[in-house]
Amino acid sequence: MMNSNTNIRAIEQIGAQVLRRIAMPVERVDDPSVIDVIAAMQATLASTEGVGLAAPQIGESLRIMIVASRSTPRYPKAPTMDPTVMVNPEFNVLSNEIAKDWEGCLSIPGIRALVPRFRKISVCYLNQQGVSQTLILEDFVARVFQHEYDHLDGLVYLDRVETNRDIVSEQEFQKLITEN
């Protein structure tokens, strides 16, 4: 059995060109190179305290993401959701209600920001077997999805911040969540 640690990839950091490209759709989910990318994404995400990961973050310009909401020191109040691989995801807004909440990113360490996101969305994607799936996502998990989806379109969460005053250091963010 292959050691999953061998699949862990470096996470691309802000400034890397791959984070600013529109990712390419996956033609075949069963392609060995796609299977390898998904395995690398799973191993890489599992090695972090992140709650999601997009293929561009490991240097692969493909429309693949994983949403894996879980309570971690980075997101202590996150609900639990099994890691879900989403290939060629799309979404529709189910409610125009927008909420601002804190986000961070493995590709932008040390910074947090208040980001406006839709609270309720419908998501369609292919699973690892190539079967079409639909989910209704709300609040934190909907936020994670939209954050990862932005990576597929060459955006990072700082592009969505409304004012520079909504950006804080990780250290200040930890003080804020400890106080609340």
Check the CA dihedral 42-52-156-129 and report its sign: positive
- Is 148 one of the catalytic residues? yes
Residue 124 is labelled as binding a ligand: no
Residue 147 is labelled as binding a ligand: yes
Residue 121 has which token pair? 């969305």
Strand partners, 101: 115
Looking at residue 70, what DSSP letter applies? Answer: -
92 neighbors 121 (Cβ within 8 angstroms): yes
Q: Which of 148, 162, 170, 172 is catalytic?
A: 148
Looking at residue 82, what DSSP letter applies? Answer: -
Q: Tell me the C-alpha to C-alpha distance, in Å, between residue 139 and each of 87, 126, 144, 170.
A: 21, 22, 9, 22
Q: Cα–Cα distance between 142 and 93 in angstroms, integer?
A: 10
How does strand 132-138 pair with strand 108-126? antiparallel
- Give catalytic residue positions: 148
Q: Summarize the annotated binding site as residue ranges.
A: 105, 147, 151
Binding residues for Fe cation, by number, are 105, 147, 151
